[in-house]
């Protein structure tokens, strides 16, 4: 059994039309992967920046410990970003994922996000009412199949710092 430790921080987000954001995040791993300790999913705080509108601070800690029997299904981090407006309504502001890096060490990751555009009617609707179309199935964020049906709009970036520590991969002849 090889072990993987992902220790890091969801730093924040930038480049979104509005900065009052929060994110739901989750690790997605294959069947051979087993979570030993730590939280595999969560939701960040809502930051309404006081000083700099360009950057949303989440500073959300991540700490998970996996064991695995196989390299396939290497964990990914999946995100859904929401904007909370002045009335407390949550509006979808983006989907995105990033692979957990395989190389041990500290990695600074940027997750570019997108949201579904929907039909012209949906866009008119979202312009006036702020309700953007959402995905029915969250698997679409990190699965390669069925993407071709989607029309999307680019949103901002999520900033993640992840430190990777591994144990026991070398014993099985795996170089990371």
Partner 1 sequence: MSFFSVTVTGQIDTRISTTSIANTTSNTGQIGYNSPSYYSVNLALALIHHANHRKVVVSGLEDGLTQMARASTSTTFSQAMYSSGAFSRTCVWNFPIDVCFKSTNPFGWPQLVVCVYGLDEFGRDVVRGYGAVRLPLTAGRHVLYIPTVVPRATTPFNAFLSWATGRVPEYLDPNFIAQSKGREVTRVKSQGALKIVIDIATKEIDKFGLQVSASSRRI
| 88: alpha, beta or left? (left if phi > 0; alpha if psi -120 to 50) | left
Q: Which of 90, 91, 96 shows the shortest CA–CA distance to 158? A: 96
Query: Which member of 31, 34, 48, 73 binds partner 1 (CB under 8 A)?
Result: 48
| 105: alpha, beta or left? (left if phi > 0; alpha if psi -120 to 50) | left
User: 12 pairs with which residues across the strands?
Assistant: 57, 159
CB of 7 to partner 1, least distance (A): 5
- The residue assigned the tokens 């730093």 is 11
> How many residues form the binding site for partner 1 (CB under 8 A)?
51
CB of 98 to partner 1, least distance (A): 15
Which lies closer to partner 1 via its Cβ, residue 43 or residue 152?
43
Which lies closer to partner 1 via its Cβ, residue 50 or residue 173?
50
Which lies closer to partner 1 via its Cβ, residue 3 or residue 122?
3
Query: Which member of 9, 67, 123, 126 binds partner 1 (CB under 8 A)?
Result: 9
> What's the DSSP call for residue 112?
E
**Count of alpha carbons within 13 angstroms of residue 27, beta-carbon side:** 27
- The residue assigned the tokens 């949201």 is 115
CB of 81 to partner 1, least distance (A): 13
Dihedral angle of Cα 118, 123, 129, 135, to the nearest 10 degrees = 10
Which lies closer to partner 1 via its Cβ, residue 14 or residue 123?
14
Query: Which member of 52, 85, 139, 146 binds partner 1 (CB under 8 A)?
Result: 52
Q: Give dist(CA 62, CA 55) in Å, integer.
A: 20
Q: Does 74 bind partner 1 (CB under 8 A)?
A: no
Which residues form the interface with partner 1 (CB under 8 A)? 5, 7-9, 11-12, 14-15, 22, 36-39, 42-52, 54-57, 59-65, 84, 103-106, 157, 159, 161, 163, 165-170, 176
């Amino acid at each position: 059994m090889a072990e993987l430790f992902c220790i890091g921080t969801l730093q924040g987000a930038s480049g979104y039309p509005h900065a009052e954001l929060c994110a739901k995040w989750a690790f997605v791993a294959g069947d051979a992967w087993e979570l030993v300790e730590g939280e595999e999913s969560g939701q960040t705080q809502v930051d309404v920046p006081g000083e700099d509108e360009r950057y949303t601070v989440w500073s959300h800690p991540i700490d998970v410990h996996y064991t695995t029997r196989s390299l396939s299904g290497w964990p990914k981090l999946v995100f859904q970003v929401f904007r909370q407006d002045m009335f407390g309504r949550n509006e979808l502001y983006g989907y995105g994922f990033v692979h957990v890096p395989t190389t041990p060490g500290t990695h600074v990751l940027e997750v570019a996000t997108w949201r579904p555009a929907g039909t012209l009617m949906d866009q008119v609707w979202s312009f006036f009412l702020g309700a953007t179309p959402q995905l029915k199935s969250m698997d679409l964020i990190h699965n390669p199949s069925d993407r071709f049906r989607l029309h999307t709009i680019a949103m901002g970036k999520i900033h993640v710092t992840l430190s990777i520590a591994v144990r026991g991969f070398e014993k099985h002849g795996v170089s990371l």
